[in-house]
Amino acid sequence: MDFWTSVSRIILKGRYIILIIIAAFTYYLSQQMENMRFSYTEANLLPENHEVNVEYNKFLEQFGEEGNLVILAVQDSTIFDVDKFNAWNNLSKKLDSFSEVDFTIAIGDIKKLKKNTTKKKFDVEPLYSKNPTTNKEVQNIKHELFDNLPFFDNILYNKETGTIRTVVYMRKDIVNTAARKDFVFDSLNPTIEKFESDYNVNIRVSGMPYIRTMNAQNIIDEIGMFVGLALAVTALIFFFFFRSFRATFITLLVVSIGVIWAFGFIGLFQYEITVLMALIPPLIIVIGVPNAIFLINKYQQEVKKHGNQAKSLQRVISKIGNATLMTNVTTASGFATFIFTKSQLLREFGTIASINILAIFVLALLIIPIMYSFLPLPKEKHLKHLERKWIDAIVNWMESIVRHHRIAVYIATTSIIIVSIIGVYMIKVSGSLIEDMPKGKEFFKDIVFFEEEFGGIMPLEILIDTKKEKGVMKLSTLKKMEKLDETINEIPQLSKSISALNIVKYSKQAFYSGKPKYYQLPNNQEKNWILSYAKNSTENSNMLESYVDSTGRFARMTTFMKDIGTDKMAIIEDRIQQKIDKEFPKENYTVSMTGKALVFLKGTHFLINNLVISLSLAVLLIAIFMAFMFRSFRMILISLLPNIFPLLITAGLMGYLGVPIKPSTILVFSIAFGISVDDTIHFLAKYRQELKANNWRIKESVYGALRETGVSMFYTSIVLFFGFLVFTVSSFGGTIALGGLVSITLLFAMISNLILLPSLLLSLEKSIANKKIFKEPTLDILPPEDEK
């Protein structure tokens, strides 16, 4: 291995220069961390030119950003006590005074339409002219609102439960910027907390800007926790195996620098911190520690063998360098396949993850030998772990299974495959804007509250193009909208819709002296009178601005969705579409459904399709690596089977446990496959080495490879298992599922690589273990054994 021998000499001779370069680059990347960007918008999972995005952008052109509502609500009968009632309306005025707020609507802001027969228009008058001074006056206001103003039902009150709410419209130009975060944390939350403290009232807060801000902050808060936990858990396990403070410290130094680099690369590329991106720093710790295990374990084996430090360090690099490079390349490849998807979210994740996996390999290969070169030889007590009886017992047990119970292994494998395939057919596809949000947090509980009280908080928009100026206010169009509105109201997962329809109905009610029974569309005889009154009223024009464009050609109907998965959404979408097709002839109208929630749900399906492609690409890429390394088609099949088998088990478990396929869980397969195949490479590399040393005798080679690599594979698998298990302490459902599922998959992968893989090699010995089929490799992963 001339190349790696040369590399080892360069590393050990140039150790001071290398350390200075690493320190300088680490400092440079640490400075880039300030460029990391907080995520201010939902991750758009679809390509920009996708038809769903095109429709959404068309909607934004007509009506602007739709996700700018922050909603406050109180469900407390004491809010109708005079002091609290006045304070509630003053709270709205205070929020209205903040520069980030466009305007607010509370009970105190309500204006009633009143018919002015002289000027043939509608005048507006406040619901009440001066603040009430007695509880009786408040009750009169409540009665007027709840019983006589159906227009505001589901907007400012829920008649059945007595819940009242205030709607805060944030400025559309700042809703997707850093100013939103400042407003929520520096202005909104402190103001609400003071009100709650002063009046002993629990205020519920929601709306997409608020949810996004609180959720994004939660992501930031968890990064530090993940990094700390990953460091603590992996260090603890590492120390348990090696019983060496020195080895543990060196490993922690390597992965700590790796974490700084991970953050630095995110800043250097100026990517946003998303739920996925937050996983990368702890991921680097979990993946970096196995590199250290292989390198340190080899160093200690060499020291135990001949006691020569210089020779030991040179051999660590020359004998393990290529194997660890190959394993890191395959792991990085598993992540790099995300780069080839059409999702920006996944491309960024794949780019940063693959770069940092290769970076942690370089750091481990450079820092570990260099640090040991400055230190005295390990003491005898540090090498005792190499002879641990319990590890020997585990390896002997595995060897016994492979030697004597191969038929049982195949029966068990076949049975598990059949059971897993049944489980796969039980898997459901799911996706929701809030499904993976932290369910224990107050803002999530408030989401559930608003779903129960007002039908949801995620906007679903229906954009109606009448293809004619002023076509919206034609009675024929309004009647069609009313038919569609009836269908929306029949769907329990949707709230009552808000549109020009409500305003026209309110106008008719005002025309008939405000009597609630007239809150309905005008007939043909009434429409000209009522609409002429409406046209003369500036208040009506202002109210219509949000729901009809300036030309009168485009209308929007806004409803709010509950937290429903993609399967239910598809049914709802189909039902609404059938009504649209029936009521709105295509030659006269173009009607489309859009909104952030729908874009996300469509994106989920798109992402899942892309991830299936990504996994297939990962399998293909790693098969190519195997072909490059072993030059045997049969060896490719044998090496892939023990790694695909654990993925099938995990997929089956997901079906049985009811864990749906969604963006967060489908990542499991590409990540786990890229990592688990490392063990296969180590085992097969050692197996080839043993074959040559044992003159192509299969049994001796398989058992030799099992004994030699079993300990390291066991160590690394345990570190990876508990390392990924750290993610299960997250408050995000997707992160919990990812951590748990990857841990389980890697555990099965270890068993598969240490029992199924050797069993297959022994059973197929005549097919694969001859020099004609098992050709000389393009690249030797491990060098021939040196003289001892």
The 8-class DSSP code of residue 98 comes to S
Q: Cα(204)–Cα(721) distance, rounded to whole angstroms?
A: 40
* Whether the predicted pLDDT of 786 surpasses 50: no
Q: Cα(667)–Cα(745) distance, rounded to whole angstroms?
A: 12
* Residue 704: predicted pLDDT: 82
Q: Which two tokens stand for residue 177?
A: 């910027």
Q: Cα(131)–Cα(331) distance, rounded to whole angstroms?
A: 67
Q: Which of 631, 586, 641, 598 is nearest to 760 (CA)?
A: 641
> Which 3-state string (H, E, C) describes 179-214?
HHHHHHHHHHHHHHHHHHHHHCCCCEEECHHHHHHH
Please, are residues 623 and 681 in contact by the beta-carbon 8 Å criterion?
no
How does pLDDT run across 312-338, given as a tens digit for each residue?
888 888 777 777 887 888 788 878 888
Number of residues that make up the chain: 788
* Whether the predicted pLDDT of 642 surpasses 90: no
Looking up tokens 């702890």, which residue turns up?
282
Q: Which of 742, 741, 732 is nearest to 278 (CA)?
A: 732
Q: Which of 246, 223, 224, 222 is nearest to 235 (CA)?
A: 246
Q: Cα(672)–Cα(335) distance, rounded to whole angstroms?
A: 10
Q: CB 606: neighbour CB atoms within 10 A?
A: 20
Please, are residues 312 and 604 in contact by the beta-carbon 8 Å criterion?
no
Higher pLDDT, 679 or 267: 267
* Residue 72: predicted pLDDT: 93
Please, are residues 203 and 73 in contact by the beta-carbon 8 Å criterion?
yes
* Whether the predicted pLDDT of 353 surpasses 80: yes
Please, are residues 520 and 508 in contact by the beta-carbon 8 Å criterion?
yes
Q: Which of 459, 495, 465, 458 is nearest to 480 (CA)?
A: 465
Question: What angle (nearest 5°) sits at the alpha carbon of residue 711, between those of residues 708 and 717?
Answer: 130
Mean pLDDT of 591-612: 79
The 8-class DSSP code of residue 186 comes to I
Q: Which two tokens stand for residue 600?
A: 């996300």
Q: Cα(318)–Cα(296) distance, rounded to whole angstroms?
A: 14
* Residue 535: predicted pLDDT: 65
Q: Cα(115)–Cα(120) distance, rounded to whole angstroms?
A: 8
* Whether the predicted pLDDT of 559 surpasses 60: yes
Reduced to 3 states (helix: H, G, I; strand: E, B; else coil), residue 268 is: helix
Mean pLDDT is lowest, of 284-288, 437-441, 493-497, 539-543, for 539-543
* Whether the predicted pLDDT of 566 surpasses 50: yes
Q: How many Å separate Cα 729 from the centre of its chain? A: 15
Higher pLDDT, 539 or 624: 624
Buried b (16+ CB within 10 A) or exposed e, 218-233: bbeebbeebbebbbeb
Mean pLDDT is lowest, of 383-392, 738-747, 764-773, for 764-773
Bridging pattern class, strands 458-465 and 69-74: unpaired
First and final C-alpha spacing in the chain: 17
* Residue 757: predicted pLDDT: 86
Q: Which two tokens stand for residue 15?
A: 């150790």
* Residue 438: predicted pLDDT: 79
Looking up tokens 């408030």, which residue turns up?
446
Share of the chain above pLDDT 70, in %: 91
* Residue 383: predicted pLDDT: 63
* Whether the predicted pLDDT of 787 surpasses 50: no
How many CA atoms lie less than 13 Å away from 372 in the CB half-sphere? 32
Q: Please spell the DSSP secondary structure of 301-312, one letter per residue.
A: HHHHHH--HHHH
- Element holding 614 (H helix, E strand): helix 596-630
Mean pLDDT of the chain: 82
Please, are residues 121 and 533 in contact by the beta-carbon 8 Å criterion?
yes
Question: What angle (nearest 5°) sits at the alpha carbon of residue 333, between those of residues 329 and 338?
Answer: 155
Q: Which of 458, 443, 456, 460 is nearest to 213 (CA)?
A: 443
Please, are residues 469 and 553 in contact by the beta-carbon 8 Å criterion?
yes
Neighbouring residues of 609: CB distance < 8 A, sequence distance ≥ 6: none
* Whether the predicted pLDDT of 46 surpasses 70: yes
Please, are residues 429 and 724 in contact by the beta-carbon 8 Å criterion?
no
Neighbouring residues of 415: CB distance < 8 A, sequence distance ≥ 6: none
Q: Which of 499, 504, 477, 476 is nearest to 488 (CA)?
A: 499
The 8-class DSSP code of residue 592 comes to E
* Residue 29: predicted pLDDT: 93
Q: What is the dihedral of CA 577, 580, 581, 586, to 10 degrees?
A: -120
How many CA atoms lie less than 13 Å away from 56 in the CB half-sphere? 23
* Residue 487: predicted pLDDT: 93
* Residue 384: predicted pLDDT: 64
Confidence of residue 85 (pLDDT cuts 50, 70, 90): very high
Alpha-carbon separation of residue 560 from 5, 450, 492, 497, 568 (angstroms)? 66, 10, 11, 8, 15
Share of the chain above pLDDT 90, in %: 19
Q: Cα(370)–Cα(10) distance, rounded to whole angstroms?
A: 11
> Which one-letter amino acid corresponds to residue 447?
I
Mean pLDDT of 149-173: 87
**Which of 15-29, 399-413, 536-550, 770-784 tops mean pLDDT?**
15-29
Question: What angle (nearest 5°) sits at the alpha carbon of residue 712, between those of residues 706 and 717?
Answer: 105
Q: Which of 560, 494, 431, 447 is nearest to 214 (CA)?
A: 447
Reduced to 3 states (helix: H, G, I; strand: E, B; else coil), residue 699 is: helix
Reduced to 3 states (helix: H, G, I; strand: E, B; else coil), residue 210 is: helix
> Which 3-state string (H, E, C) describes 775-788?
CCCCCCCCCCCCCC
70 phi/psi in degrees, rounded to 5: -110, 130
* Residue 25: predicted pLDDT: 94
State the chain's maximal CA–CA distance in angstroms. 111
Q: Cα(314)–Cα(302) distance, rounded to whole angstroms?
A: 10
Q: Which of 349, 325, 322 is nearest to 337 (CA)?
A: 349
Burial class (CB in 10 A: 0-12, 13-18, 19+), 251: buried
Please, are residues 106 and 166 in contact by the beta-carbon 8 Å criterion?
yes
How does pLDDT run across 690-749, given as a tens digit for each residue?
777 777 777 888 888 887 777 778 878 888 888 888 888 888 777 888 888 888 888 888
Confidence of residue 1 (pLDDT cuts 50, 70, 90): very low
Burial class (CB in 10 A: 0-12, 13-18, 19+), 288: buried
Please, are residues 723 and 746 in contact by the beta-carbon 8 Å criterion?
no
Mean pLDDT of 54-63: 82
Q: Cα(477)–Cα(786) distance, rounded to whole angstroms?
A: 87
Q: Which of 267, 314, 268 is nearest to 295 (CA)?
A: 314
Confidence of residue 385 (pLDDT cuts 50, 70, 90): low
Q: Please spell the DSSP secondary structure of 269-294, one letter per residue.
A: TT-EE-TTGGGHHHHHHHHHHHHHHH
Q: Cα(519)–Cα(501) distance, rounded to whole angstroms?
A: 10
* Residue 388: predicted pLDDT: 63
Q: Domains of the chain (ranges plus CATH)?
A: 2-41+213-425+600-768 (1.20.1640.10)
* Residue 769: predicted pLDDT: 52
Q: How many Å separate Cα 104 from the centre of its chain? A: 33
Confidence of residue 416 (pLDDT cuts 50, 70, 90): very high
Please, are residues 296 and 242 in contact by the beta-carbon 8 Å criterion?
yes
Question: What is the reported pTM?
Answer: 0.77
Neighbouring residues of 354: CB distance < 8 A, sequence distance ≥ 6: 332, 333, 335, 336, 339
Please, are residues 406 and 414 in contact by the beta-carbon 8 Å criterion?
no
* Residue 510: predicted pLDDT: 83
* Whether the predicted pLDDT of 228 surpasses 80: yes
* Whether the predicted pLDDT of 629 surpasses 70: no
Q: Please spell the DSSP secondary structure of 755-775, one letter per residue.
A: IIHHHHHHHTHHHH-STTTSP
